[in-house]
Structure 1
Amino acid sequence: MWYTLIQGTQPVTASEAIKWNPERMTKDSRFILGSKVNKALALGHRGHIFGKYSRAYRYVADDEDKAWLFDRNISTRMSGKVFFMLLEDVIEIAQLENASVQVQKDLQRYSFIVPDKMVQKMKSRMSTPFDQLKLE
C-alpha cells in the first residue's frame, strides 16, 4: 500500500505525508467506504478515486473487518477488496471536486465509526509508510 504513496514523478508534499500520520486516527474518527466515495462523487468505475488521488490514505479491510462491516450492513461485499477512507480526507477531496453541499452531507451520512481494535490495526499499517516519509 505505501509503495504507491512513495513512488511517482513528484516528491511527496508535507500535506500528503501528514495524511499518513497514525496519530490522526482516534476512536472517534469517521470512515467511509471507497465505493461510496466513488459513487457520491461520480468518479466512474470502481476504484477510480484511488487512481485520481493515489496518495490519499485508504485502508484495505481484512476478512475480520469485512465481516464486521457486513454484519452492520455497511458493506454488502464479503469477497474482493473493500477499501475505506477517513471522512475528513474525503470531504477535502469532495471540495476539490467541487461537490455540492448535499453530496458532502451524503458522505457524512454514509460514514461510520469502527471499533478500537480496527483503529489500532490501521495505525499499525500506517506507521511504516509514515516513518519512511519522515526519513525522506
Structure 2
Amino acid sequence: MELAVRVIMIIVGLLVIAISCGLAFRYGRYATNARADLEQERYLRMVAEENVQAFHAKLETLEAELKRSQNKIKAVEKVAEQNQAINVDLKSRLDKILEIKDRLEAKIKELEHLSSTKDFCAISGAA
C-alpha cells in the first residue's frame, strides 16, 4: 500500500508540476503579450508627443508669420493713407493752380481787349 500511495503521490506531484509549468508558460505568454502591448502603447504615445511638438512648433511659426504679415499690412495701410493725403493735397494745389490760370487767362483777355481798344482809339484819333 505504501507503494501505491507513493506512486499516487508521484503522479499527483508530476501533475502539479505539469500544471504549474503549463500555467507558468501561459502566464509567461500573457506577460510577453502585455509587455509587447505596453511597448506598442509607449511607442504610439512617443510618436503622438513628437507630432504634438511638431504641430506646436509649426503653430508658433505660423503665428509669427501671421504677426509679420499683419505688421506688413499695417505698414501698407499707413503708406496708402499717406499717399491718399498726398493725392488730396496735390488735387487741392492743382485746383488752386487751375483757378489762378483761369484768372490769368481772363486778365490776359481783358488786357488784350483793352490793348485792342486803345489801338483802335489811337488809330481813329490819328485819322
Which category describes the TM-score, using the shorter chain as reference length? under 0.3
TM-score of the aligned structures, taking structure 2 as reference length? 0.16
Higher relative contact order (CA 8 A, sep 6+): 1
Task: Judging by fraction of residues, say which structure has more strand.
Answer: 1
**Which has the larger Rg?**
2
Task: Judging by fraction of residues, say which structure has more helix.
Answer: 2
